[in-house]
Every structure is written in C-alpha cells, then in structure tokens.
Amino acid sequence: MVEREVAWRVFAHEFIHSDYFFHDGDEFSPNYLVTPTGARVNRLYFVGVLTEIDNLGAGEDMWRARVSDPTGAFSVYAGQYQPQASVFLSGLDVPCFVAITGKARTYEPEDGTIYTSVRPEELNTASDSIRDRWIVDTARLTYERIKLVRSAMDSGLKGDELTAMLVKSGASPKLANGILRAVSHYTDLDKYLNTLSGVIVDALKNLASANHQPTSLPGFSHSMKEVAGSNADAMVKETPARYSVEDTQPTQSPQPVQSTDPAQPTQSPHFVQSTDPVQPVQSPHSVQSSEPKTAKVTDEEIHVGTTGSEPARPEEDKPEPDEMVYELMGIMDKGNGVPVTELVDESKRSGLTDEHIDDAMKILMSEGRCYEPRIGVLRRV
Amino acid sequence: MDEKIAPHVDEIIRALGTTGTTVNQAIIIEELARLLEFKVPLQEAKRSLLKKHGNIDLPSVKKLSELGAGERNIEVTARILEINTKVVGIKEQERTIFMGTMVDETGARSFTAWEDFGLEKGDVVKVTNAYVRMWQGMPEINFGARSKVEKLDSSALEPLLSKDLERPVLLADLKEGEPSVHTVIRIMESGQQEINTKNGPRTIVTGIAIDSTAKLPFTSWVPSPELTAGNTVEIKNAYMRSWQGIPTINIGEFTSISHLETPINDSDIAGVMDHVPIRLDKITDRDGAFDVSIEGNIISVRPGSGLITRCSECNRVIQKKICRVHGLVEGRNDMRIKYILDDGTGALTVVLDADLTRKITGYSIEKAREVAGADMNLSAVEEEIRRKLMGLTMRLRGNMTKGEYGITLVASNVEVTEINPAAAATDLVKEIEGAGHHSPGQGDSDLW
C-alpha cells in the first residue's frame, strides 16, 4: 500500500519563498518542496481568489492561473495532462473563489532563482466561508510549524536527537524530517519566521474584523462600512500592506488592534439606516448579523491591545481613504476595471492626498479586495 | 593464509570437529577464499562450507520482529514473558506442551515448546534450531526435541524492555498481532454471545473497551465476571487480533483480568466519549481504529461516487448490469460517495453510504436518478456531488481500516462543520501574540 501524500496547508507567502526541492531514491519516488517551516510539500490544498487566467496557447493547451490568498498568490499551470483542470479554469469568470488540490512544482531558469507553482489535480469553485476557514486552518498549522522550527533552532540538537525532540513535541515524522531539512537549508530563517508570523497575524486580524467584503452588495455605502469599522474593525484600515514581499519593513503605524477605541460608543446598525437616506435598504441583515460578532471582537481586541501606543481613532465624520477609493472603484467601473490615473484624479477630488490614495490602493490589493486585471487598471474583486 | 580469514577457517574446522569430521585446512582456506572472491557474504560462505563438509546447518540468528512464516533453523535470544502448560492430544496420546510469549528488543512473539525445557517466566534463553509457524495470522516460534535451549544470564538482554512491558499500554498504541498485551481499560459495553466453533457451540463475551485515547472492541473466549460494563480492569497477557480490519483485544485462557479499585473516570475518557476529532497524522499511524472521530476538508471526490448499481444477488457494485459472479442481473440502484478527507496532517479515503450521502448532498436515490436523466448519465451525478462537496470541512465518525487500497474510514455519521472564522481568527491572534515570540514586520526582510 502506498500512502497517499498529505495535502499540506501553506500560505502563498511561504510557498513562493520556498526554494528547496528534493527527491529521495529513484526517479519514480515523489518530489518534495521543503518550505521554510519544514512542510514537505508534494501535494497541497488551498482556497483563494482566482484573479487571472490566461491561455498560454501557442499550439499547446496550457492555462496559467493566479490564485491569491491574503499573503500572496499561487501560480497554477494546467496543461494537456490536466484536461479537466483546463476545462474548469477556462470556464471561470475572474474573480471568484476557488479550492484547489494540486502538486507542488518548481521552475528554475538559468539564473538560479526558483519559481514554485502548482499543477492542479482537483478544482472547484468555493465560497467565502470555505476560504475563511482555510485561512484559519492554514494559519494554525503554519503557526504550529513555526513554533516547532523555532524550538528546533533553539534546542541546539541535531540529527536523530532533534527528530526525537520534534516528534515528542507533536510533529509527525515527516514534518520532523522537513524541519531538519529546512533548518539546515534556509539561511536567516529566524527573520523569515518573524515575517511570516507577521503576515499570518495580519491575515487573521483582517479576517477577525472583515465582514467578507467580496460578498458586499453593489451599493455598499461609505457610512455602512464606516459604522462597521468604528464598531470594531477599523483596525484593518490602519494596517499597511505588510503582506507584500517588497514591503516587509518594520512598520511605524500603530498596531491595528489599538485603532479600536474602547471608549468609543458602539453605534447601532439602526443609526446607520436612519442617517443614510441615500441607501435606505442597505441590507439590514448583513449589518445586524454582524453586530454581535463585531461586538465580541471588540471586547477581545481591548484585552489584546495593551501595548500602549497611540490609539488611532478613525475619523468619525469621514470614511477611511481605502473605503473611499474602494467605493469610487465600484462606481467608476463600467465593467472592465478603472484606470489608476482616473481613480487617483477622482479620489483627489474627494479630498484625498496622493499618499492616502497610494496607501489605500496597496491596502485594498493586499486585502484581496481589488486586483489588477491589466497593468494600470484596478478592479474590485 | 590471508590473516583476515584465518579465524574463520579455524572456526569452521572446530565446528566440523564437533561432528567428528576432519577436513584438510588447505581445502577450507581455498574454498572459503574462492567464495569470498565471488563476493559471497562471509556468514553465507561459512555456512555453505559447514553444510558441504559436515552437513551442519548453521542457524540463522534472528530478532523476533524479523521472523516470517516457514523459517527453519533459526536462533533467537529472548526473555520468557509468560509461559503456561497445556495438555493436548497428539496421535491419541496426551502430551503436555508449553505455550507462552517471549520478547526481545524488537518485539514480542508467542511460542510453543513441544518438550519440557524447564523454562520459567523471566528466563532469558537462546533457542537454536527453532522454526516458525503461522498461528492466528502471526508468526509463532516453535521448538522441540531437535532444538537446543540454553538459559543465559538475565543481563544478556536489555532490562529496559521488560520494564517497558510492565507498563500498561494505551489503547491507541496497541498494534495488530501483539501476542502479549498489558492494558488498563474501562468496559463500556459487554454482552454474551453464542457462537459455533468446530468444537461445538461456545459462549464468548464481546464488548467495547475505552481509555483516555481510544475505544476498541474486545472478545473474551472465557467468561469473566469482571468484564461488566462500568468496571475498570487491568488486563495482562491478552493478544491482539484484527476482526474485520479493526484491532481487537482478545482475552484467552492465559489472560489475567483484575478489577482495579481506582477506576478510569468519566473525565479521563471525556475526549473519546465526546468524539473530539483526532488529527489525521495521529490516527493514520494506527493499524485500525474503532468508532473514531475525525475532521478535515474534502479535497478530492473519487470516481465511483454517486449513483451506482449493485448486483441484486450479492450486492457487489456492477457495471452495465453484469455481475462478475452472477452474470446478467437486474441490479438495483444505490448511492455512495468516496472521497479523500485531508486535514493538512494526514489523508484517508472516506466512504459514505446512501443515507449519509443524502444527508450531506440532499440527494435521494430518486433525485440522483433525475440528475442522471433518462440515459442514466452517472458521471453527471458524480460531477454534481464533486461540485457540491469539494472544499467543505466535515466531521466524521466511523471505523478506520488499512488495506491494499490505503486507509479507509467507513462513516457511521457525517456532518458539515462551520466555524465563525472571525472568532477563530481572533483566538488564534491572541494565542500567537500571547506567545510573545512574534513581532510583525520585525527584522530586515530584504533577503526574502
């Protein structure tokens, strides 16, 4: 009996930062991509937003897709040997949620860099709840691997002794093997683990506060979002785009948690409706159902937010820049996205500075709320 | 003479001498050197020379875990863990044989001694010219009149091992085929059952045992008042046998059962009783599992899911109304789903029957027939199920077995589970930030 390869849960951030591929034994033995946290990935499973789909064509039927999670994007290639995957991908409208089980692949051009990608085995459209669940599950499993790798680095043990220690700490023998390999392969692992932890925490905070933006209704209004924000989840808006690979520098901004001012009275959803004559039928369900949840989050955030930096209270009479930009993006989109230049102009007319607009776009991109279908064009997810 | 082979040549000549054979040293040297030239392993070369010149069979030295069916002339060194006498009738004569369990650093095996070697529990013995027979599906060491049994100093074996065996083993750690099991269990259910054996009807006790790690079925071939629901008992020298792929504790005539005054409490078994899902990497290690709970994502719906046809005679799944045993049959429709459940730490195949399929897809057999349409397009049903299920998180209960097609759980219950992602995310953030080892964005990440 051949044991089935486990479908590992890794975030795109970790997947694209993996560059250690190996296989044991003969040519028929499986290949593994060892990630910085020691996942020994032959197969993986992920749920994200399909943001691009291209037929690479040229006689060959080869489809390339980009699937984004809160931390980065997976590249998915389906060729002639994945006919079902190709048919599936070619029939989708971008953007949408997809769940993919696939095999890890690498591509090494001459210059020594390694690109990782996924060859799909099974695909399906997914929902926001499946995606959110995947984020939570993946965050937990990744966090556990981070802890194990740290304990491995701190232990000073090697070889069998280290394996024994890791297995005793709850790692499977496969993971223990992967961690041994990761620790000896990756340089500056500690720094990367810090980065990855930060990325995970940001993704989780986003989830803790967000009310599934992608399902938002077409007429989603400023004030709605603002109330939702000032209720509990204004923190997201203060969070710089820390996921992007380029931007992992220390952030000066206050911790996202602190943006919730404990003293600020919670506004009720009814308040919104009565003060927003333009949108009188703003899906009361979404607001009301979100109220208990966000209120609960508020409580917990208060406990967490004890690091003492300046609370960044969201301006009460004005929506956050990213919400304004998001809104404009929706209004201006005639179906093919909005040119960035036009979006900037329009945003300035609404009183935002270049800096605001720039930040807002970054935030929206990293939260997966908008994407770039073509260079210089943005579109809401 | 080559210095390397000199001691071996001496050894061969000495061994041949014990049987009264004298052989010219030069011949042995030449033949041994020649075999070695052909890269025959030294042990094998010596063995073949002894066989050739003195008709001596050197036993092969084995560890208990290496023993396989049909092996002859083996030598094992092990500690007698348990020994019992039994009177059997052989060729209409009564004879006393000795059955028990022996153990070395690799594992435990049952044995039968056909002669009285004066063995006692705790003895460390070297047995030469023993042989292996399969007994109840496991290799068993046999030795008799032609075997040699030598008692060794008890320090000849690691003492650690026998100490390990003194400790009761948790149910989740019990392996199939273990000949000597020591465990502490609480009896969950127990009942008498009448079965027919070749020696006529017999009453056995069957039931379910539980501890803090798992539930397992048990079968007692002897009645015991201790095996009553609610009792906590310590069981020694039971053995494991698989019953329908599930490891089962077997209690035989040599098993001791003692009632424990300090019971396994409800709180100890709460996790198992409440069906808290077990991580797949922890459970796929086991040889099988009884009524376990697991949770994971459906990452692949397998072919053969959906509407199927079974033979009306034998229930086999059939294609195109042809049963491979009963030929052309009418067949009857049934539903099932086979899918891969994966939680990121392990994976197994799950099988859902028609009722459970209906529970999670809403498809009755009639509804599935509608989807299949007049031309019975079965793949349409399968595709529809795939589309509905792939990616969902499910919690399952059932029995897990291992077989040639991998690890399978036949579900007794299934439910789609949902969480509040915001609350779960908040909890996890607290945990990560509480651990303090993290500081977002800290450090220079240019390298990455």
Nearest-CA neighbor of A17 among B92, B447, B9?
B447
In this predicted structure, the answer to whether residue A212 has a pLDDT above a threshold of 70 is: no
Residue B158: pLDDT band (50, 70, 90) is low
Summarize the confidence of residues A81-91 as an average pLDDT.
84
Q: Spell A118-134 as b/e; 16+ CB within 10 A means b.
A: bbbbbbbbbbbbbbbbb
In this predicted structure, the answer to whether residue A121 has a pLDDT above a threshold of 90 is: yes
Rounded CA gap, B230 and B190, in Å? 9
Residue type at B85? T
Can you list the positions of beta strands (E) in chain A? 7-8, 20-23, 31-34, 40-41, 43-55, 63-69, 72-78, 96-107, 115-125, 338-339, 370-374, 377-380
Summarize the confidence of residues B172-195 as an average pLDDT.
89
Give every CB contact of residue A289 below 8 A, 6+ residues apart in sequence: none
Percent of chain B scored above 90 by pLDDT?
Answer: 37
Whether B302 and chain A come into contact, CB under 8 Å, resolves to: no
Residue type at B388? K
Higher-scoring residue by pLDDT: A11, B78:
A11
pLDDT of residue B447: 39
Distances A45 to A5, A15, A120, A312, B299 between C-alpha atoms, Å: 11, 12, 9, 37, 7
Q: What is the reported pTM?
A: 0.67
Q: Inter-chain contact B419–A136, Cβ cutoff 8 Å? A: yes
pLDDT of residue B165: 59
pLDDT of residue A84: 83
Per the CB < 8 A criterion, the answer to whether B106 and B146 are in contact is no
Q: Across all residues in chain B, what is the average pLDDT? A: 86
Residue A210: pLDDT band (50, 70, 90) is low
Q: Give, in degrees to the nearest 5, the angle at Cα A140 between A134 and A141.
A: 90
B406: closest chain A residue by CA: A1
Query: Burial level of A347, CB count in 10 A (0-12/13-18/19+)?
Result: buried
Whether A19 and chain B come into contact, CB under 8 Å, resolves to: no
Q: Which two tokens stand for residue A159?
A: 């070889």
Q: Inter-chain contact A249–B418, Cβ cutoff 8 Å? A: no
Q: Which two tokens stand for residue B278?
A: 């077990």
Nearest CB to A201: which of B421, B424, B433? B433
pLDDT of residue B187: 95
Q: Inter-chain contact A133–B403, Cβ cutoff 8 Å? A: no
Q: Is B1 helix (H, G, I), strand (E, B) or coil?
A: coil
Nearest-CA neighbor of B33 among B49, B18, B22?
B49
Q: Is B296 helix (H, G, I), strand (E, B) or coil?
A: strand
pLDDT of residue B164: 55
Q: Dihedral through CA B74, CA B80, CA B81, CA B83, nearest 10?
A: 100
pLDDT of residue B436: 63
In this predicted structure, the answer to whether residue A298 has a pLDDT above a threshold of 60 is: no
Give the range among A281-285, A323-327, B13-17, B128-132 with minimum mean pLDDT.
A281-285
Higher-scoring residue by pLDDT: B251, A268:
B251
Whether A129 and chain B come into contact, CB under 8 Å, resolves to: yes
Over residues A144-191, the pLDDT tens digits come to 999 999 999 999 898 999 999 999 999 999 999 999 999 999 999 999
Q: Is A186 helix (H, G, I), strand (E, B) or coil?
A: coil
Give every CB contact of residue B276 below 8 A, 6+ residues apart in sequence: B293
For chain A, the distance separating the N- and C-terminal CA atoms, rounded to the nearest angstrom, is 44
Percent of chain A scored above 90 by pLDDT?
Answer: 39
For B319, other C-beta atoms within 10 Å of its C-beta total 11
pLDDT of residue B161: 53
Whether B199 and chain A come into contact, CB under 8 Å, resolves to: no
Nearest-CA neighbor of A138 among B397, B296, B433, B415?
B296
Q: Is A79 helix (H, G, I), strand (E, B) or coil?
A: coil
Most confident of A359-363, B41-45, B236-240: B236-240
Higher-scoring residue by pLDDT: A258, B230:
B230
DSSP count for chain A of H helices, then E strands: 13, 12
pLDDT of residue A60: 64
Whether B281 and chain A come into contact, CB under 8 Å, resolves to: yes
Q: Inter-chain contact A7–B342, Cβ cutoff 8 Å? A: yes
Q: Inter-chain contact A139–B428, Cβ cutoff 8 Å? A: yes
Over residues B325-370, the pLDDT tens digits come to 888 888 888 999 999 999 999 999 999 999 999 999 998 999 888 8
* Residues forming beta bridges with residue B243, ordered by sequence position: B246
For chain B, the distance separating the N- and C-terminal CA atoms, rounded to the nearest angstrom, is 65
Rounded CA gap, B422 and A207, in Å? 6
Nearest CB to A6: which of B342, B404, B406? B342
Residue B138: pLDDT band (50, 70, 90) is confident
Whether A330 and chain B come into contact, CB under 8 Å, resolves to: no
Give every CB contact of residue A368 below 8 A, 6+ residues apart in sequence: A48, A49, A68, A69, A70, A214, A381
Over residues B41-67, the pLDDT tens digits come to 887 888 888 888 887 777 788 888 888
Give every CB contact of residue B140 below 8 A, 6+ residues apart in sequence: B109, B110, B111, B112, B132, B133, B134, B179
pLDDT of residue A259: 37
Interface list for B 139-198 with A (CB within 8 A) = none
Over residues A19-70, the pLDDT tens digits come to 999 887 777 788 999 999 999 999 999 999 999 888 887 656 788 999 999 9
Most confident of A224-233, B26-35, B43-52, B101-110: B26-35
Higher-scoring residue by pLDDT: B104, B335:
B335
Give every CB contact of residue A316 below 8 A, 6+ residues apart in sequence: A230
Whether B379 and chain A come into contact, CB under 8 Å, resolves to: no
Per the CB < 8 A criterion, the answer to whether B426 and A301 are in contact is yes
In this predicted structure, the answer to whether residue A274 has a pLDDT above a threshold of 50 is: no
* Residues forming beta bridges with residue B235, ordered by sequence position: B183, B257
Over residues A129-157, the pLDDT tens digits come to 999 999 999 999 999 999 999 999 999 89
Over residues B421-443, the pLDDT tens digits come to 999 999 999 999 987 654 444 44
Summarize the confidence of residues A353-368 as an average pLDDT.
81
CA B38 to chain centroid, in Å, comes to 41
Interface list for A 93-112 with B (CB within 8 A) = 99, 101
Over residues B1-18, the pLDDT tens digits come to 567 788 888 888 888 887
pLDDT of residue B359: 93
Residue length of chain A: 381
pLDDT of residue A1: 61
Per the CB < 8 A criterion, the answer to whether A214 and A299 are in contact is no
Q: Spell B328-345 as b/e; 16+ CB within 10 A means b.
A: ebebeebbbbbbbbbbbb
For A274, other C-beta atoms within 10 Å of its C-beta total 10
Q: Is B13 helix (H, G, I), strand (E, B) or coil?
A: helix
State the DSSP H helix or E strand holding residue B293, giving kind and residue range, or none if neither: strand B288-301
Choose from A69, A138, A149, A172 for mutation: most chain B CBs within 10 A: A172
Summarize the confidence of residues B212-217 as an average pLDDT.
94
Q: Inter-chain contact A17–B448, Cβ cutoff 8 Å? A: yes
Nearest CB to B439: which of A124, A132, A194? A194
Q: Which two tokens stand for residue B136?
A: 């109840």
Chain B residues touching residue A188 (CB < 8 angstroms): 447-448
Q: Spell B209-245 as b/e; 16+ CB within 10 A means b.
A: bbbbbbbbbbbbeeebebbeeebbbebbbbbbbeeeb
Residue A219: pLDDT band (50, 70, 90) is very low
